Structures are given as C-alpha cells and as structure tokens.
DNA sequence: TTATGTGAACTATTTCACAGCT
DNA sequence: AGCTGTGAAATAGTTCACATAA
C-alpha cells in the first residue's frame, strides 16, 4: 500500500506518535513495539502500524521500531525541520499562553515573533520575544517565517489573516471562531474551543 | 433515514451551524436556506440538509429554515439548556483567556467556578468568578456543575481529572496534551494545539 | 419556481486476521 | 516466538441527483 493516498487522519496522528516517542526516549527507551506505543498514545496498535505502512517499512519484525529512527522519519514526513519558525498575532491571555507554552519544542518549533496593536504591549518582552507593532507583519517573509498563529478577537481575525497572507505566510493556526477566508494555497487549521465545549453535553447521558 | 445512527461528524458541526444562525439572527434575518447558511459556515448545502435530516424535518420546502425554530431544535439535540454551568481548573494565561471569552454565551454556557492551587491567585476575582482553592473541587456536584475545563500544566492534568471525576463531573474539555484516563462514562474532548501546529508544515508545499 | 429531504453511489477510514521476517 | 506489514472486510462519512412539497 506504499505511497498511495495518505489519509488526513493519519497525518493528524503523526504528531501524537512523535510526542509519545519523545516521552519514551526521555525514559531511556531505544526501541518500542506498536503495542507499547499504543499504551502511550491511546491509538490501537494496528492503526499505528497501518499509519506507518503508508510511508515505508520503519520497523523490524519480531522487534519493533527504533525510536530515534522512527522519530526522524515522522519529522521528515511532516516537514518538521529543526528551527521551524512561527509568528504569533495577538498577545492577549491566549496569545501569552501560546508564547509561554514549551510543548512546541519537540516538534522543532519556536515562536519567533509576536505582534499586537496595543501600544501598551508593543516593545514589551515576553519570554524570548519582543512584541512588535502589528504593522510590522510585512517583515515576515524576509525573516523566513511562513507560519502564524492568530489569537486576536474575532472581529479583526480576517483582517489579520489578509496581512499574513500578503506577508507570504503559508500556514495559519486560527484560534478565532470566525471562519477566515484565504487563498487555496494557504492552509488554515482552526481551533474553536467554544464549539468543542458545546458538544460535550450531547455525550452526557441525563441532564 | 430518521433516527438512525448519527455520525459524530454531524454532532461536531451542529455547534457551528448554531453560531451561523446566531449571526444571521443578529442581522435581523428570520429564515435561511441551506445555501445561504452554507456561505456562513463553509459547509456544503447538501451536507447541512443531510445533517438536519437525521433528526427531523426542520425546514419548509421552497422556503428554507426558520432560524429561531432551527436554533431551538439544535440546542435540544445537543442538550444545551440555558444556564449550563462549567468549571475551570487552572487560572494561568490559558485559563484566563477561557474565563474572558464571551463566545460560550450563544451556547447557553457560563463558566461559573474557577480553581487554582496558587495561593496568590486564590480569592482573586476574575470577571464574575472568584478563584477557589483546588481542594474545593469536591463541591461541584452539589453546585450542579457537571462539565469542566482543564487548563493546568500537563504534569498535574491526570490528578485534576481524577478529582473532577470524583466530584461527579461528566464531561471534560482538556487542554493538556497528556492523554488523560477517566471512566468510560465520562466524555473527554482534548484540544492539543501543539499537534495542530505540528501538522501545518505537511500541507505547506516547498520548505 | 424554489429549496428541502433522502436513497443510493461513492469515497475515506478503521478493523481484522494472518502471512512474512528476524 | 514475537512483532511488523498489509490485503480484504467492515464501517463511517460525503456527495449527488432528484422526487417531493410549498
């Protein structure tokens, strides 16, 4: 089944596997079976094997997968080069949480730039980055930043998306519930936690 | 096809429709066709009609859907009674963003309680709620709160989940990347934005 | 006319069972 | 003996075309 069409769901799971592998490596493990990895990531073993099988033979029969090698392969598939840079737009509570979050590191990411339109925030240093005026978004291309995180109020989300696209950004992680419109070649992933919360009661039996 | 098994994906889309309807209502519209709603929510019209058809005949042929009625029906399906209460655990940047977010309102939600283990935060009033000591989680049942949002560092996420389950919580929105383990009857929805960011480069052509 | 509701075809994804290496 | 890799079956979800009702 090698090199056939890859399910989107498989791509969605790869970063989860990567984190599981990072945890196992940290525990000093060198190799892992699909069964053991399954316990870490809550994905059934046959699903894990099938997912990997789309890309190649990464394991050794009777043994399992070499953690370092498998991690390298997944990173290659996902295009995760070390030192990948992302920009953040909107340094409110949510944006600050994103800036403070260290969980991007295992994916080789760094949030390298932050923008806001609030003069009180511009110039402030949060963690390792200084907050820049939102009008400076147009410098992203020359700084080699092609991914951005939108964490602004929904009224300004589309406008920010337009600036980002104009600045050459190719991928956007969008926290605003407003569906933003971008050219087809730009990939948008939206995280909308109000809708996620809203479907929780459906799965709760009585009340 | 009425009353047959409902796709999970349909349930996932219902809150999105609800927001679209709320926006249309705010613009003074009283009725809407699947085609017009499609423009608002970026879901194709036939998908919208099919989704509704699992639950009943909500529209009028040749006319469309009555916005007020359709909203009421969707809320009933999702079990969204007005005044639904949720608790927040972890009042860091992310938790504060959740507390400040007004987008829950159209779903009839209110974040009614907030907990943290930091003495500097306990007792502080953020928006309408006072931060309580995390040991008070056990009061949730008697306060009629059955849903919770976990926004704590991943090391403590499982422990918090255990307390919440012990306190009778039936649904959890989990922002920590650690897969938390709960009894089967408790529904967990995980939002893991690092993994979402990590698959963005896959969809970006060159680099 | 106009727009819904839906069976049927199609496509995507998961699950299983087991052959095949090490 | 143990664990991977994968075809084939089963399940889930999407898309279409059109009969049907206002």
pLDDT 10s digits, B115-129: 999 999 999 999 899
Can you tell me the distance from the alpha carbon of B12 to that of B124, in angstroms, rounded to the nearest whole number?
35
- pLDDT of B1 above 70: no
Query: What is the pTM assigned to this prediction?
Result: 0.94
Task: Identify nearest nucleotide to residue A51 by CA to C1′ distance.
Answer: D5
Q: Mean per-residue pLDDT for B21-43? A: 97
Task: Identify nearest nucleotide to residue B34 by CA to C1′ distance.
Answer: C3
Strand C bases with any atom < 7 A from protein Cβ: 1-7, 12-17, 20-22
Decide: B94 and B69 in contact? Cβ < 8 Å: no
Q: Write the CB contacts of A187 (distance below 8 Å, at least 6 apart in sequence).
A: A170, A171, A172, B200, B203, B204
Percentage, residues of chain B above pLDDT 70: 97
Can you tell me the distance from the alpha carbon of A74 to that of A90, in angstroms, rounded to the nearest whole number?
31
Q: Write the CB contacts of B53 (distance below 8 Å, at least 6 apart in sequence).
A: B1, B2
pLDDT at A2: 55
Q: Give A26-79 pLDDT, tens digit per residue.
A: 999 999 999 999 999 999 999 999 999 999 999 999 999 999 999 999 999 999
Can you tell me the distance from the alpha carbon of B60 to that of B50, in angstroms, rounded to the nearest whole number?
14
pLDDT at A167: 97
Decide: A127 and A65 in contact? Cβ < 8 Å: no
Helix or strand run (H / E) with residue B25: helix B8-26
Length of chain A: 207
Which contacts of B178-182 are long-range, i.e. CB under 8 A and separated by 24 or more positions? Answer: B178/B154, B179/A40, B179/A41, B179/A42, B180/B150
Q: Mean per-residue pLDDT for A183-198? A: 95
- pLDDT of A1 above 50: no
pLDDT at A3: 56
∠ CA A206-B73-A194, nearest 5°, is: 70
pLDDT at B16: 98
> Which chain A residues are within 8 Å of B86, Cβ to Cβ?
197
- pLDDT of A86 above 60: yes
Q: Mean per-residue pLDDT for A121-143? A: 96
pLDDT at B4: 66
Q: Mean per-residue pLDDT for A126-131? A: 93
CB atoms within 10 A of CB B24: 18
User: A52 — phi, psi (to 5°)?
Assistant: -65, -35
pLDDT at A168: 97
Q: How far is CA B24 from CA A159, A178, A199, B20, B33, in A?
A: 21, 14, 21, 6, 11
Q: Mean per-residue pLDDT for A1-20? A: 89
Can you tell me the distance from the alpha carbon of A112 to that of A101, in angstroms, rounded to the nearest whole number?
13
- pLDDT of A201 above 60: yes
Give the chain A residue whose CA is nearest to the CA of B77: A202
Looking at every residue in chain B, the average pLDDT score rounds to 95
Q: Mean per-residue pLDDT for A92-106? A: 93
Q: Mean per-residue pLDDT for A6-31? A: 97
Q: Give B52-97 pLDDT, tens digit per residue.
A: 999 999 999 999 999 999 999 999 999 998 888 999 999 999 999 9
- Could A94 and B92 be called an inter-chain contact, meaning their C-beta atoms sit closer than 8 Å? no
Q: Write the CB contacts of B97 (distance below 8 Å, at least 6 apart in sequence).
A: A92, A93, A94, A97
Give the chain B residue whose CA is nearest to the CA of A180: B42
- Could B195 and A78 be called an inter-chain contact, meaning their C-beta atoms sit closer than 8 Å? no
pLDDT at A127: 87
- pLDDT of B148 above 70: yes
- Pairing relationship of beta strands A109-116 and A129-133 according to DSSP bridges: parallel
pLDDT at A82: 84
Q: Give the CA B67 to C1' D5 distance in Å.
A: 52
> Which chain A residues are within 8 Å of B147, Cβ to Cβ?
197, 200-201, 204
Task: Identify nearest nucleotide to residue B63 by CA to C1′ distance.
Answer: C3
Q: Averaging pLDDT over each range in A86-95, A98-107, A177-186, B80-89, which range is the top one?
A: A86-95
Q: Give the pair of three-digit tokens for residue A104.
A: 């991007």
Q: Give the pair of three-digit tokens for residue B15.
A: 């809150």
Nearest CA to A149 among A80, A96, A77, A107? A96
User: A59 — phi, psi (to 5°)?
Assistant: -105, 180
- pLDDT of B149 above 60: yes
Decide: B19 and A195 in contact? Cβ < 8 Å: yes
Decide: B66 and B81 in contact? Cβ < 8 Å: no
What does A154-197 look like in DSSP terms, one character per residue?
Answer: HHHHHHHHHHHHHTT--EEEE-SSSPP---TTSEEEE--HHHHH
């Amino acid at each position: 089944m090698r090199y056939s069409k890859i399910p989107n769901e498989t791509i969605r799971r790869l970063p989860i596997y990567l984190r599981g592998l990072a945890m196992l490596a940290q525990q000093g493990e060198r190799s892992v079976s699909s069964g053991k990895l399954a316990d870490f990531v809550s994905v059934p073993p046959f699903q894990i094997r099938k997912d990997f099988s789309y890309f190649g033979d990464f394991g050794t029969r009777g043994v399992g997968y070499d953690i370092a090698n498998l991690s390298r392969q997944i990173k290659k598939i996902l295009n995760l080069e070390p030192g990948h840079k992302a920009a953040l737009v909107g340094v409110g509570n949510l944006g600050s949480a994103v800036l403070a979050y260290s969980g991007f590191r295992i994916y080789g990411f760094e949030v390298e730039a932050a923008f806001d339109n609030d003069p009180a925030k511009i110039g402030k240093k949060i963690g390792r980055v200084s907050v820049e005026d939102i009008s400076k978004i147009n410098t992203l291309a020359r700084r080699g930043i092609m991914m951005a995180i939108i964490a602004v109020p929904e009224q300004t989300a589309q406008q920010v998306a337009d600036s980002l696209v104009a600045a050459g950004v190719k991928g956007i992680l969008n926290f605003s519930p407003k569906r933003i419109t971008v050219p087809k070649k730009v990939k948008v992933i939206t995280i909308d936690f109000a809708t996620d919360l809203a479907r929780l009661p459906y799965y709760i039996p009585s009340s």
